[in-house]
Structure 1
Amino acid sequence: MALWRVRATVDDRPGYLSVLTASLALRSVNILAVQVHTTEEGAVDDFLVDAPDALTEADLLAAVAKGRGHDAFVTRADPQALADQPTRALALAGRLVHEPDALGEVLVALLDATEVRWRPESAGDRPGFHGGRMTLADPAGGSLEVLRALPGFTPAEFARAQALVEVAATVQRRHRDQVAMLLPDGSEVVLRPAALDDLAAVREFHDECSPAALRQRFPGGLPADTRLRRLLEPAGGMTLLAVAPGGAVVAMASLLAEGDLGELRVLVTDDWQRRGLGTALLRRLRSHAAKAGMAALVAHTGAGNAGMLRTLRRVGAGPIERDGAMVTVTVRAAAHPVGEETPAPSA
């Protein structure tokens, strides 16, 4: 028996797929996997089949034609093709998370393409596909031209390719947003946006904080994982982490958005307090809020939390309203972009 890939277009009408599969079955062809791509010309059926060794490409093309298929494409398949497309796409997305610059190679593997060419930005290079040519926007600038001889690309393949491009763009933005910060004592930490896969590290970070620090940050108790996930990627806002050498999270600051109002929150593990981390993180969040057009920023903290109040004054604290043991501090929007700021160490 031999593995083949068979692709053919059939009329998108009830029963037509069964006619094609019956024609293949009459030649003892075993269908291992099938995908159906909807197009304007009809349903494109993509089969991975196991056929008797005696069958040739011409025999399979004849079986497709007898099964009312047209625009057929037949080629020998590699055993790796036994992995279904969702599994294959997820594996390639996982590679992009670690190697965002491998987008071209990933597209070749996903689409069984012969070549991926990079082109400088051009008004005529809009994302889309025609036949065996697909154009995708390159997250790094310009466009990517994906080529293969046969078969022509389908809308489903274009959608998968676009999804992988978005994965690469997200990872590249995350890498681009990382900033190394040198502390007064010579230590270096990385400030970067948080992501959902930071959940375990953030949990460990909270375990390292003292009960007193946690009570000031979470008066109602430490949030469950469900709420913590929302804090890692808040809708309309941003969460930043400070990561020490070795990968441990040592500080976390969040900007939560509610309409045009933003709320600032920050927590620094005890051993890393009074070293400027809270100030640096809040300045970056304040700048992000200004770019997002937020009208005002507030922070809530305990009236006795002198360290937090000092930090808020450094990043532009305005009016302070007291309500019992809690105070609400209004913070002005950033007056300059993040790249112009110089984080000041804590006193």
Structure 2
Amino acid sequence: MDDLPELIRLAGRTALLRRARPPDLDGLVELHRRCSAETLRRRFLGAPQTSGRALGCLVSQHATHTQLAMAGTEVVGAGSVFQAADPAELAFLVRDDWQGRGLGRALLRRLAKAAVADGVRAVCLHTYADNAVVRHLLDSYGLPGRGSIADGVLTVRVDHQVIGSSATP
């Protein structure tokens, strides 16, 4: 995959999208610290795993592809494709003051490209069934998937043909 950084402009703000590296761990920890309890609850479906040790997998580049959104030196968003399972799992976190600007959509586009380049056959995303933001993101991006709800958690699976067609802007 082309891992070149990408500068994007969103609602009057500029962010640099790039792949996470091991030195970014402190920035990821700070991103989690600066998110509201509700944002973390939605991302982690309950108790957040925000310690440096828990977040270390996001920068290890072994079975995980993580993209960061940087505003200067601050990490304001992150998205990951966890490839250790089949289907691979997608996860996002956007700092509260950057939500609603299109950052999640930009991260999703980059992650879709990475997944296709890495040969991922399908991805899934888990969110609370009432998470209208993530549902809107998937719909607006054209990612129809097979969804199921169990215990209030929506799981959406998207096959590689759809990922590939959605990976282009």
Taking structure 2 as the reference length, what is the TM-score of the superposition?
0.88
Q: Residues 303 and 260 from structure 1, CA distance in 2 versus in 1: closer, same or farther, beyond 3 angstroms?
A: closer
* Aligned mate of 2:7, from 167, 174, 180: 180
Question: Structure 1: where are the runs of 5+ without partners?
Answer: 1-172, 342-347
Residues 1:335 and 2:169 are matched in the alignment: no
Indicate the residue corresponding to 2:147 in structure 1.
320
Distance, in Å, in 2 between the alignment partners of 1:241 and 1:220 is 22
> Residues 131-146 of structure 1 correspond to what in structure 2 (within 5 A)?
none
Q: Residue 73 of structure 2: SS of its match in structure 1?
A: coil
Query: Highest CA radius of gyration, 1 or 2?
Result: 1
Q: 1:232-289 CA distances to partner (integer Å, 9 max, x unpaired)?
A: 2342330001001x31111110100125521000011111101111111112111211
Letter in 1 for 2:50: P
Indicate the residue corresponding to 1:309 in structure 2.
135
8 Å contact from structure 2 (residues 20, 58) kept in 1: no
How many residues are aligned here? Answer: 165
Q: Residues 223 and 257 from structure 1, CA distance in 2 versus in 1: closer, same or farther, beyond 3 angstroms?
A: same
How far did 1:296 drift? Answer: 0.8
Residues 1:237 and 2:64 are matched in the alignment: yes
Letter in 2 for 1:304: D
Distance, in Å, in 2 between the alignment partners of 1:234 and 1:256 is 10
Question: Structure 2: where are the runs of 5+ without partners?
Answer: none
Q: 1:41-93 CA distances to partner (integer Å, 9 max, x unpaired)?
A: xxxxxxxxxxxxxxxxxxxxxxxxxxxxxxxxxxxxxxxxxxxxxxxxxxxxx
Indicate the residue corresponding to 2:93 in structure 1.
267
> Residues 1-347 of structure 1 correspond to what in structure 2 (within 5 A)?
177-183=4-10, 185-218=11-44, 219-244=46-71, 246-315=72-141, 316-333=143-160, 334-336=163-165, 340-341=168-169
Q: 1:85-142 CA distances to partner (integer Å, 9 max, x unpaired)?
A: xxxxxxxxxxxxxxxxxxxxxxxxxxxxxxxxxxxxxxxxxxxxxxxxxxxxxxxxxx
> RMSD in angstroms over aligned alpha carbons?
2.0
Q: Which has the higher contact order (CA 8 A, sep 6+)?
A: 2
Q: Residue 235 of structure 1: SS of its match in structure 2?
A: coil
Q: 1:297-320 CA distances to partner (integer Å, 9 max, x unpaired)?
A: 000011111101111223313111
How far did 1:326 drift? Answer: 0.7
Q: Residue 275 of structure 1: SS of its match in structure 2?
A: coil
Which runs of at least 4 in structure 1 moved beyond 3 Å after TM superposition?
none
How far did 1:331 drift? Answer: 2.2
Q: Residue 123 of structure 2: SS of its match in structure 1?
A: strand
Q: Residue 156 of structure 2: SS of its match in structure 1?
A: strand
Distance, in Å, in 2 between the alignment partners of 1:187 and 1:324 is 38
Q: Residue 83 of structure 2: SS of its match in structure 1?
A: strand
Distance, in Å, in 2 between the alignment partners of 1:256 and 1:201 is 19
